A and B are shown apart, each in its own frame.
Chain A
């Protein structure tokens, strides 16, 4: 075990032909993908997202059809109902987004990462892209599965809707996009605060505490302010109808995406400026 093993290593290689950004970027993406898939918490967290976002609405739709006397009225939003797991799922996805970068700081991996790739913006962009694609895939599987399973259960009592009906498709796609953006918002905030607990708290505060605080504003302000809060803006995409207190679906999603981009830009700027 402790023989002098240096002889096994070849003499130092001559300087390789330097590669450019185009050569480096795929390497860094591959590296980030390896990092993401080789910790168990990623896999468990994504599994939890699937179970919560699909399992919960399916279970409750069974409860609804079993209550013979209490059937919902004609105003029942069957598509929106199949997506209500997203409200809980966003907690998990947002936390995972934070952890993807904050865990690198808490474990010291960030120093290995940045020593291997000193181009910090390249690392950050690769990390965001890799994570966004993974979350998007899981999110689309989640919302489409939830929709079809829930409609299948509700359909046994004639309560279901089809994907082509009304705003269903926009809501199901929107739910997946919303989850994806929550994930990258988490990543951006994780890059800013570099601390798991602080990052997750911040995400929770933005999505859940801000709307509560907004209740304390004067009534006349609320209708102008609340719809621009990150969660409220983003959730417009999976609401059936826009009303006076919500933004139009795609406008809302764009505003929400804007917040996420802002967090990412700030996170990237700080990553470049600060000592690792």
Chain B
């Protein structure tokens, strides 16, 4: 179990992590989600003591990482792909890690076989592809057979086969009772892998929830309405407090009123409805919605509404 309490990390003027608290429970894959620059990597580096927190503390199974003299047997971390000397072989990279933690040499062959690198174990890592580098990183993390795993963007650079492999591996490891924290900026990937979500933006906690709750919470409850008399209905809905926008094809997007209330409003103003569809936000949309204000680098002035939808000016 990882417990992050009030963690803050400042680099000069930049507050990369801001009073962040969360817990990663054993037996689950916890997705660590946020836009680029949200502070995910900084948090993970602070968990394993590479970065010294400005404030707050992290404990793993109740103990401080920096006090552990054989931490690889308790915590495995993949923090960046190819954090290896390009002139050293995969085997020798794992060898020095194993020696420093008193891990049996046989475990090196086991983990290399597990990630599918046994045939290139003696090759220097400069010949490795990004995907092979990720597999080596996962081997490093699994070397000490730890109860807690931290993986920063483990599927980066992997082919689809590799992505599915990582996904299944993480689920299987969690099922064995390990605590797993895996970061990503891809919501869709997290939806397939994680049970639990920690969402951060600009270093702050945005959500600490399950995947299904997250979608429900973030979906904006928009309702799509089609009617031949858009002007009249829009006026009626606006008078009841709704925000109405109209897209190019004439459909109305209604925010702030439930489908039932919209139907009632249509009946009261005797407008015919052709369609009345509550919209479920997709996972990706829910993520965008939640983190919109906390994205570090916007692509210019990004429109907040879907392209092709213009604000309805009234009848």
Contact = CB atoms under 8 A, between A and B. Distances in A.
A binds B: yes
Interface of A: 1-13, 15-16, 18-21, 23-24, 27-28, 30-32, 34-35, 38-41, 103-104, 107-109, 111-119, 273, 275-276
Given A6-B169, A118-B66, A109 B52 contact: no
B83 A112 contact: yes
Given A9-B142, A107-B85, A115-B50, A18 B69 contact: yes
A111 B177 contact: no
Given A12-B146, A116-B100, A275-B45, A4 B50 contact: no
A76 B17 CA distance: 68
30 contacts: A1-B116, A3-B165, A6-B172, A7-B172, A8-B114, A12-B145, A12-B147, A13-B73, A19-B69, A19-B70, A27-B99, A31-B100, A34-B99, A35-B96, A38-B89, A41-B87, A104-B85, A108-B83, A109-B83, A111-B83, A112-B97, A113-B100, A114-B49, A115-B77, A116-B71, A116-B100, A117-B100, A118-B67, A118-B68, A275-B52
Interface residues of B, number: 59
A15 B74 CA distance: 7
Contacts, number: 150
B66 A6 contact: no
A232 to B, nearest CB: 36
B145 to A, nearest CB: 5
B101 interface: yes
Contacts of A40: 87
A112 B69 contact: no
A2 B162 contact: yes
8 tightest CB-CB pairs across the interface, nearest first? Answer: A108-B83, A6-B172, A31-B100, A38-B92, A12-B147, A2-B165, A1-B116, A34-B96
Contacts of A119: 66, 69
Interface of B: 45, 48-52, 61, 65-74, 77, 79-80, 82-89, 92-93, 95-97, 99-102, 110-111, 113-116, 140, 142, 145-147, 161-162, 164-165, 168-169, 172-173, 176-178
A242 B301 CA distance: 74
Contact of B97 (A1, A5, A116): A116
A18 B142 CA distance: 20
Contacts of B93: 109, 112
Given A108-B80, A108-B82, A2 B164 contact: yes
Nearest to A14: B147
Given A12-B146, A114-B50, A109 B161 contact: no
Nearest to B52: A275
A198 B119 CA distance: 38
B115 A5 contact: yes
B85 A118 contact: no
B110 A9 contact: yes
